A and B are shown apart, each in its own frame.
Chain A
Amino acid sequence: MSGRIFITGIGITSAIGMDVASSLDSLIKMRHGMTLPTFLPTRHADFHVGEVKASNNELCTILEMKKNFPVSRTTLLGCVAGAEAIAMSGIKPETIRNELHFINGTSVSAMDISEKAFQKMIGGESVDYQRWFSRHDCGKTTDFISEYLGFKNLTTTISTACSSGANSIMQAGRNIKHGIYDLALAGGTDALSLFTLNGFNSLKILDKDWCKPFDIDRKGLNLGEGAAYLLLESEKSILKTGSKPLAELAGFGNANDAYHQTASSPEGIGATLAMQKAFETSAIKPGSIDYINAHGTGTENNDHSESIAIRNVFGDKTPAYSSTKAYTGHTLAAAGALEAVISVLAIRENLVFPNLNLDTPIDIIGAPVLKLENKAVNTVLSNSFGFGGNCTSLIFRTV
């Protein structure tokens, strides 16, 4: 059994827009979303971050949800993006309710809530554990979004750090390809938190200023937040639902770098293997890739290692490539999903989105795309790499 996997809905919320239309407009106008923190109550007020431009209360208003109730920002963002992907599809509510499998990636989960309560706990204040911590775990974030969107079926949560979103899409794709199920919503969500901002800062891989992916003088990444989901359907499902495919998930590869807990190998071992496996599972050859949406975080280590890996796979024929991290920041578990939606938009609109804020490219695979390009985009490769050596590549194709 080896079926096709169609993408029939997309939803995205990030620093560059609350939905698909506003995000696309930002991408086209090369408008990034990096600012100093407005909503995150951090002492590091001079660090650029990619915040979603809405407070938790404003997100609750959008979602018609009770305010001042400790629901994590990760969950709220997931609800917003998930609802958009579902609304785009036009599939009957009862089909969504009973047949859809929800595969969600998150690494931060409700840490934004837990860290506030933990601070009180440490300070000796009494804390209502049930109220503040009972939604802490990743599984609960997924369940909450699932219940909000009215799904009754099983949920799956993948937590592989910065590749969680890509792995969720791959997981749904593998299951649909093998006929295990026919309809899935897959992607990821992560909000900004003090935990991750201070964590990445302790690793000294944050750039205080606007990040510069693939620039020779890059100084680190900017953290971002957001959520994005793809609605995925089998051939059997679209015959029943009548959904119109936007694109197809054509290939996927997951490999482990097995080099270091956080750093990528200088030879790009895991990244190379993930891309190679993605080509093996699709009928596509590297030569026919029209655009690579790179992981491109803007750290010294990632952008070097990823460039080497791209050279390993593509030789001296690097396709048009860019990182969109300078628009959104690095949204961790949501990144792979955000960039999957951006890849689908590249195919739908026949556009290659440029890499922002670059002066001098790294001299390994030439320069990324620096201006919006309008050309035929039939196939896109999207990379996501994370802590724990987790590397995942996805290939999208026009239908």
Chain B
Amino acid sequence: MKTYITSSATVLPSAKTVGANENSAYLSDVNYAEYIEPKLLRRMSKVIRMSVAAAKIALREAGLENPEAILVGTGLGCLTDTQRFLTDMCSAEEGVLSPTAFIQSTHNTIAGQIGLLLECNGYNSTYSDRAHSFEQALLDAQLHLLEGSDNILVGAADETVDLVENVVRSINETGNSSGVTKDYFLGEGSSFFVVSDKKKLNSIELKGLKLMPRTNPSELQAVLTDFLSSHSIAPNEIDLIILGDWPNTGDKYYAAFREVFNNSIPTAFYKKQSGHYFTSSAYALHLGCHILRTQSIPESISGTHPPEQILQNILIYNHYKANKHSFCLISK
């Protein structure tokens, strides 16, 4: 069974480093009223808005009204409403509280709201596994295809909010292999994909997806070599690697990963646009699909000269603090 990405969309409200003449992969300034009724929009936090917009764009591009399943990954869930309810509760010392923020604070609000707006009674689930939140949703999409379902809506979202931002920053920036450099910034965003086992016009094939728990750099190299050979691809057939790193962090895992390839392999750093958030690797996948479709690598994220030949295979690698590693291989 093959897995195809029929369509994809990303909203990055706080994106950085857009090149002057770049055909950017994402939307930063979305007119949400195009996708959501004003009455509903007013109550929706940022994470819900951007998710509904990204989901609706991905569905529209796939020419699909209703998916058979909705699968969403989120690292930290609905932070705006969580912060609001916590603040209200602490200020009122457990007094009389409005339920609105509480109702919208659960992680499954994202997938639930999309299901509600689409009136989709199909399978609906939410995954929250740090840097694997999106990849777990994507793995489940593949299982749904294996079970005979088709047209799965799979996506991811995370948001930042003022008070919590300091907390998240402190947590992300501490510990081994935190990957913090001058380029580092905390981002937020939402990416959605329609996934099918049937190839359509503009489909990108998801050739391989590999998740690993905590590992060491040499084991990582061994798993990578196995992964490539299991998909009958030699390292020199990979035209571009997209890394969840920033240039020159000295991260030993990304270094070990690159060692498997020729030194001159074209490399892109997606977080230069999206910033860091638990589900930013969903943007990396969308970016990879965009690059394969447009055959051009945005200058602002490439660490090396873009290749001259046709871009056929892209490999994405991401990890979080030496844990939750993932490889994602896509082909045109």
Q: A151 to B304: give the CA distance in the assembly, Å.
A: 40
Asked if B125 is an interface residue, CB under 8 A from chain A, the answer is yes
Q: A155 to B211: give the CA distance in the assembly, Å.
A: 10
Q: Mark A277-291, 1 if CB is under 8 A from B, else 0.
A: 000000000000000
Considering only residues 241-273 of chain B, those with a C-beta below 8 Å from chain A are none
Considering only residues 98-135 of chain A, those with a C-beta below 8 Å from chain B are 107, 114-115, 118-119, 121-123, 129-130, 133-134
Contact between chains at A390 and B124 (CB < 8 Å):
yes
* Residues of A close to B96: CB separation below 8 A: 202
* Residues of A close to B136: CB separation below 8 A: 156-157
* Distance of B40 from chain A, by nearest CB (Å): 11
Task: List the B residue with the shortest CB-CB distance to A42.
Answer: B94
Contact between chains at B94 and A43 (CB < 8 Å):
yes
Contact between chains at A389 and B124 (CB < 8 Å):
yes
* Distance of A313 from chain B, by nearest CB (Å): 15
B contact residues, range? 35 or more
| From B97, B111, B127, contact of A156 by CB (8 A) | B127
Q: A386 to B86: give the CA distance in the assembly, Å.
A: 21
* Distance of B24 from chain A, by nearest CB (Å): 30
| From B106, B171, B323, contact of A387 by CB (8 A) | B106
* Residues of A close to B211: CB separation below 8 A: 154
Contact between chains at B126 and A159 (CB < 8 Å):
yes
* Residues of B close to A388: CB separation below 8 A: 106, 108-109, 111-113, 115, 124, 126
Asked if B193 is an interface residue, CB under 8 A from chain A, the answer is no
| From B70, B85, B87, contact of A199 by CB (8 A) | B85
Asked if B34 is an interface residue, CB under 8 A from chain A, the answer is no
Task: List the A residue with the shortest CB-CB distance to B97.
Answer: A202
Considering only residues 93-119 of chain B, those with a C-beta below 8 Å from chain A are 93-94, 96-99, 102-109, 111-113, 115-116, 118-119
Q: A260 to B70: give the CA distance in the assembly, Å.
A: 16
Report the count of interface residues on A (CB-CB < 8 A): 64
Q: A57 to B124: give the CA distance in the assembly, Å.
A: 38
Contact between chains at B124 and A254 (CB < 8 Å):
yes
Asked if B190 is an interface residue, CB under 8 A from chain A, the answer is no
Asked if B132 is an interface residue, CB under 8 A from chain A, the answer is yes
B-side residues, CB < 8 A to A, are: 70, 74-77, 85-87, 89-91, 93-94, 96-99, 102-109, 111-113, 115-116, 118-130, 132-133, 136, 140, 143, 146-147, 163, 166-167, 170-171, 174, 211-214, 278, 323-324
Contacts A/B (CB < 8 Å), 23 sampled: A115-B86, A119-B90, A138-B128, A139-B132, A154-B211, A157-B128, A157-B129, A158-B128, A160-B108, A160-B124, A161-B106, A194-B89, A198-B89, A199-B103, A202-B96, A254-B123, A254-B124, A255-B121, A258-B116, A387-B103, A387-B108, A388-B111, A390-B125
